């Protein structure tokens, strides 16, 4: 059942990238807001003369950041795509660098170089276009859910066959 649900979710991710990024952004904002609230609760529950005020300030800043993330969801979406785009860009730069340094090893170096070039182009596109970022994030998550769903389905069949073998003995 898990496998089927994950496969269904993967197709939702593939077909609704903007909504997926919105939901991810909203959840990141809610989790940040919640962390700030719990930080304040913990501060006031454990407060005494020796309590350091840095945890109070950290909790207040986290709460405000979480509130801003929830209230300004478009901004949160952009920040998430920029961070993701920077990760893809840096991956591309690393692949380019390693491919160039290892150009004497042949085809593997060319694969690194081509992968690096494509990653740099994708990273730049993701950083400067939120729609491109939404599609990339949603697609990668969709692929992950699809692969996991197929894996769980295969695991279910393997388990069923093992149970049949055990019962037949």
pLDDT digits (tens, 9 = 90+) for 91-124: 999 999 999 888 888 888 899 999 999 999 999 9
Please count the structural domains in the chain: 1
- Return the HEC string of 87-156: HHHHHHHHHHHHHHHCHHHCHHHHHHHHHHHHHHHHHHHHHHCHHHHHHHHHHHHHHHHHHHHHHHHHHH
Residue 115 belongs to a domain: yes
Q: Does pLDDT of 169 surpass 80?
A: no
Q: Residue 61 — very low, low, confident or very high, per pLDDT cuts 50/70/90?
A: very high
* Residue 20 within a domain: yes
168 falls within a domain: no
* pLDDT (tens digit per residue) in 19-56: 999 999 999 999 999 999 999 999 888 877 767 788 88
In a domain, 112, yes or no: yes
Give percent of the chain above pLDDT 70.
Answer: 99
Is residue 109 in a domain?
yes
pLDDT of residue 38: 96
- Residue 167 confidence (pLDDT): 83
Q: Does the global pTM surpass 0.85?
A: no
Domain ranges, residue 79 = 2-162
Whether 167 is covered by a domain: the verdict is no
Q: Is residue 99 part of a domain?
A: yes
């Amino acid at each position: 059942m898990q496998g089927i649900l994950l496969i269904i979710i993967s197709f939702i991710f593939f077909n609704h990238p903007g909504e997926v990024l919105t939901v991810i952004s909203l959840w990141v904002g809610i989790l940040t807001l919640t962390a700030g609230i719990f930080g304040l609760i913990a501060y006031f529950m454990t407060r005494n003369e020796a309590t350091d005020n840095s945890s109070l300030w950290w909790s207040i800043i986290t709460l405000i950041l979480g509130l801003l993330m929830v209230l300004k969801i478009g901004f949160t979406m952009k920040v998430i795509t920029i961070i993701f785009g920077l990760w893809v860009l840096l991956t591309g730069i690393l692949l380019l660098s390693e491919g160039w340094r290892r150009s004497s090893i042949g085809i593997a170096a060319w694969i690194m170089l081509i992968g690096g070039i494509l990653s740099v182009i994708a990273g730049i596109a993701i950083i400067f276009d939120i729609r491109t970022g939404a599609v990339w994030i949603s697609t990668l998550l969709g692929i992950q859910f699809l692969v996991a769903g197929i894996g769980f389905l295969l695991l279910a069949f393997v388990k069923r066959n093992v149970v049949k073998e055990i019962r037949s003995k």
